[in-house]
Amino acid sequence: MDDYPKDICAVTDSSTEGVPASQPPLDPDGTTQRSPEELVARAIAPVKREFLRPPPSSRTTQNNPASDANVKQPQANLVQEKKSKRQLKRERRQEQKSPLNLCPEIAKTGDVNACSYKDKCRFSHDIEAFMAQKPADLEGDCPFIKADAPCPYGLACRFAGTHKDNAPAATSNLLKKSSEVNGLSKDVQKLLWKNKMRFTKADVVVKSLGLAGPNWKVKKLVDKEEDEVGLDGSHAADKTDCKKVVDDSVDCSECPSTFPAAVNAEEACETDKLRPLKKAKLVVDEKSSDEGEGATVLEKDNEKNSAETEPADNVLAEPDRSPKISNLKDATVLEKYNEKKSAETEPADDVHAEPDKSLKIHPREKMLIDFREKLYLAPLTTVGNLPFRRVCKTLGADVTCGEMAMCTNLLQGQASEWALLRRHSSEDLFGVQICGAYPDTIARTVELIEKECTVDFIDINMGCPIDIVVDKGAGSFLLTKPLRMKGIIQAASGTVDKPITVKVRTGYFGGKNRIDSLIADIGSWGATALTIHGRSRQQHYSKLADWDYIYQCAQKAPCTLQVLGNGDIFSYLDWNNRKTDCPELSTCMIARGALIKPWLFTEIKEQRHWDISSQERLNILKEYVRFGLEHWGSDKKGVETTRHFLLEWLSYACRYIPVGLLDVIPQRLNWRPPSYYGRDDLETLMASDSAADWIRISEMLLGKVPDGFTFAPKHKSNAYDRAENG
């Protein structure tokens, strides 16, 4: 590929340099010429012949430093793999002590004495050495400069030259994420780390639904002589008092549940992580697949071996995670947290008493969300982060949903998983998506989310096809376990007042759909909306979505259950056709189409094909970078994090083909784009599928990459899969 001017204006001003004067008509594969109709039949984008270019001999750009770095990366990885964890930890410590890692408190104020840790601080306190090695400032203004408030990153900001010296320092901590909510507080994180968080509502609901199983009450006491402090701060007196707790409540923290080896909370948690799943061949029983009850041979086999390998669907195979207080200090922390939270959810007199069933909210009385005609941005792995959702909101999206979060990680207090739940103030209709394998795990997670987060609905993923999720019994594996699906939905809807929605696929195996036999029950179990991705788990993202089956399910759904379709929406015509063909559909969820062209929401609302220019696309990328710096920070780490996720997005965005270059419109999602020239150099650069060219675009917006920088997208570079969760 030709060298491109580094200056953005120079790139975008050349309107015809990208197209050679006399370009011979070539077939995309460089052989025989074909008509546009033949190309479409072969799933090849019918680009106009004057824009076609010979296919490159290699996907790697010759004599390109970024490409050379990518080639050398495997060798560097081999060297790094030989290092022990202790060595890597030592290197990280040394890196933190380098002058480039200035203490955040000192960077914020510019005062060497500002850090309270003094010599014990892990970071450097040498301001002069930091300023000598700090990279040059980036072009543009600091994203945190608002009115007279200072930047929270101070000297470490890559836009420090634009800071105002006379800004008051008192408000610096309030700026970074003042417009974001759903953060994880330290108090909650500590309780989750120590396994002392209480889930009274969830435990009561799980027990009332009969999902606790016979082992719930048949428990033996362990560590009788251990001096334990109860939840109320008092010591366990004798065996009689402990037995009363076991018999009359769901608080069995003194007992080892179904795992005898787990004699304390920490071991129980570890046992839960290693809970085995039954390994057997999944064969659908065609006779029972339409009934929606025991639909696979695996289920029948599990019923025979439930005591040794996996409990039945109505048995809670989860070690008890009720709080176990080992000292008065922890008890005091728990009491303060409970007082700080709502007294109505955990009464002081009888925390284990079952609620009055007459006061329980009926599913129809819950707050409902009307999804009809709303443009719904699907939860997208990696790329569907908060800055990307903000971009889609500015382009017309109505409903947004956070990336899929694993319930186990949330309950363990992992900060990286909780970051997936963050919400921006511009997201007026926002939900979070969770994924789990068992009713009690889901119930506790939704109770925790309702307490700590501000969301409009909670979506349960039962369609994720990724192996690591399916192997744990979550995601699309639940499609083979209808009884467990029932338990999960009932437990979640019975625990919280927020609307519970579910996302599924057509089935586990291709050609053996089963949602049509379950859809009537899903509404009665407590779900308010159901999203159906028109592919099976076995298909992943290959072939086209089966919209005829989605229509069939929507027509069978009860009036209380909203049905949303998902799959291959890539133009406003696709949207119109789906809505016209099946009026019973509430709306359509947009996933990979938004990754490739986020202005799809604008096209649907304005009912037109937007022949967007390269400069307009660049402006969208600029907005994303600004949102990313506000979210991840404007220091060195924040800039490189923004660059990483920008590159992940560009690995999808390069698949877009401008409308003016196509013989047949609109573009289809399954078309493979050939090598082509754009209408200007920037458009040609954006069409490249080379990681070196994506890096070049990032350098236009975020400056030069660090020495030794490499990038490989999480998904396969030239594959059309793994863009969404299910």
Give the integer Cα–Cα distance in Å for 107 and 633: 13
Question: 720, 670 in Cβ contact below 8 A?
Answer: yes
Which residue has better confidence, 461 or 66? 461
Q: What is the mean pLDDT of residues 447-462?
A: 96
- To the nearest 10°, report the CA torsion of 418, 462, 510, 280: 90
Q: What is the pLDDT, as a whole number, of residue 160?
A: 87
Give the integer Cα–Cα distance in Å for 451 and 184: 11
Q: Is the pLDDT of residue 232 over 90?
A: no
Question: 242, 322 in Cβ contact below 8 A?
Answer: no
Nearest alpha carbon to residue 621 among 648, 658, 582: 648
Q: Is the pLDDT of residue 190 over 50?
A: yes
Q: What is the pLDDT of residues 361-407, one digit of tens each?
A: 555 556 689 999 999 999 998 999 999 999 999 999 999 999 999 99
Residue 679 pLDDT grade (very low, low, confident, very high; cuts 50, 70, 90): very high
Nearest alpha carbon to residue 392 among 420, 429, 418: 429
Q: What is the pLDDT, as a whole number, of residue 118?
A: 86
Q: What is the pLDDT of residues 494-520, one digit of tens each?
A: 999 999 999 999 999 988 888 999 999
Q: What is the pLDDT of residues 268-287, one digit of tens each?
A: 444 343 344 444 344 344 33
Per-residue 3-state assignment (H helix, E strand, C coil) for 623-667: HHHHHHHHHHCCCHHHHHHHHHHHHHHHHHHCCCCCHHHECCCCC
Give the integer Cα–Cα distance in Å for 28 and 222: 71
* % of the chain exceeding 90 in pLDDT: 48
Nearest alpha carbon to residue 562 among 476, 647, 459: 459
Give the integer Cα–Cα distance in Å for 430 and 407: 19
Residue 330 pLDDT grade (very low, low, confident, very high; cuts 50, 70, 90): low
Question: 697, 621 in Cβ contact below 8 A?
Answer: yes
Q: What is the pLDDT, as a whole number, of residue 58?
A: 53
Structure tokens at 712: 């490989």
Q: What is the pLDDT, as a whole number, of residue 418?
A: 96
Q: Cβ-count burial of 25 within 10 angstroms (0-12 exposed, 13-18 middle, 19+ buried)?
A: exposed
> Is the bond preceding 666 in cis, omega lying within 30 degrees of 0?
yes
Q: What is the mean pLDDT of residues 668-687?
A: 92
Residue 629 pLDDT grade (very low, low, confident, very high; cuts 50, 70, 90): very high
Residue 639 pLDDT grade (very low, low, confident, very high; cuts 50, 70, 90): very high
Q: What is the pLDDT of residues 596-613, one digit of tens each?
A: 999 999 999 999 999 999
Q: Is the pLDDT of residue 52 over 60?
A: yes
Q: Is the pLDDT of residue 455 over 60?
A: yes
Question: 277, 471 in Cβ contact below 8 A?
Answer: yes
CB-based burial, 67-96: b 16+ in 10 Å, e otherwise: bebbeeeeeeeeeeeeeeeeeeeeeeeeee
Q: What is the pLDDT, as a whole number, of residue 143?
A: 87
Q: What is the mean pLDDT of residues 187-205?
A: 93
Q: What is the pLDDT, as a whole number, of residue 255?
A: 38
Residue 57 pLDDT grade (very low, low, confident, very high; cuts 50, 70, 90): low
Give the residue numbers marked as catalytic: 464
Q: What is the mean pLDDT of residues 555-575?
A: 94
Per-range mean pLDDT, top range of 82-86, 320-324, 428-432? 428-432
Segment among 95-99, 195-199, 718-722 with least mean pLDDT: 718-722
Residue 442 pLDDT grade (very low, low, confident, very high; cuts 50, 70, 90): very high
Which residue has better confidence, 190 or 258? 190
Task: Name the average pLDDT for the chain.
Answer: 76
Give the integer Cα–Cα distance in Å for 720 and 716: 8
Number of H helices, E strands in the chain: 28, 11
How many CB atoms are closer than 10 A to CB 200?
Answer: 20
Q: Where are the beta strands (DSSP E) in 398-495?
A: 400-401, 405-406, 423-424, 430-435, 457-462
Q: What is the pLDDT, as a whole number, of residue 340?
A: 55
In the chain, the domains with their CATH numbers are 90-172 (no CATH), 376-610 (3.20.20.70), 611-725 (no CATH)
Segment among 91-100, 402-411, 476-485 with least mean pLDDT: 91-100
Q: Is the pLDDT of residue 473 over 60?
A: yes
Residue 705 pLDDT grade (very low, low, confident, very high; cuts 50, 70, 90): very high
Give the integer Cα–Cα distance in Å for 564 and 545: 13
Residue 445 pLDDT grade (very low, low, confident, very high; cuts 50, 70, 90): very high
Which residue has better confidence, 330 or 48? 48
Q: What is the mean pLDDT of residues 79-88?
A: 68
Q: What is the pLDDT, as a whole number, of residue 516?
A: 93
Residue 339 pLDDT grade (very low, low, confident, very high; cuts 50, 70, 90): low
Q: Is the pLDDT of residue 725 over 60?
A: no
Cα–Cα separations (whole angstroms), residue 284 to 300, 481, 501, 508, 509: 11, 11, 26, 9, 8
Question: 12, 615 in Cβ contact below 8 A?
Answer: yes
Structure tokens at 415: 């900060």
Q: What is the pLDDT of residues 58-81, one digit of tens each?
A: 544 444 444 444 444 444 443 445
Q: What is the pLDDT of residues 160-186, one digit of tens each?
A: 888 876 554 434 444 445 689 999 999
Give the integer Cα–Cα distance in Å for 113 and 110: 9
Residue 337 pLDDT grade (very low, low, confident, very high; cuts 50, 70, 90): low
Segment among 371-375, 487-491, 648-652, 663-667 with least mean pLDDT: 663-667
* % of the chain exceeding 70 in pLDDT: 66
Question: 651, 713 in Cβ contact below 8 A?
Answer: yes
Which residue has better confidence, 349 or 455? 455
Per-residue 3-state assignment (H helix, E strand, C coil) for 245-295: HHHHCCCCCCCCCCCCCCCCHHHHHHHHHCCCCCCCCCCECHHHHCCCCCC
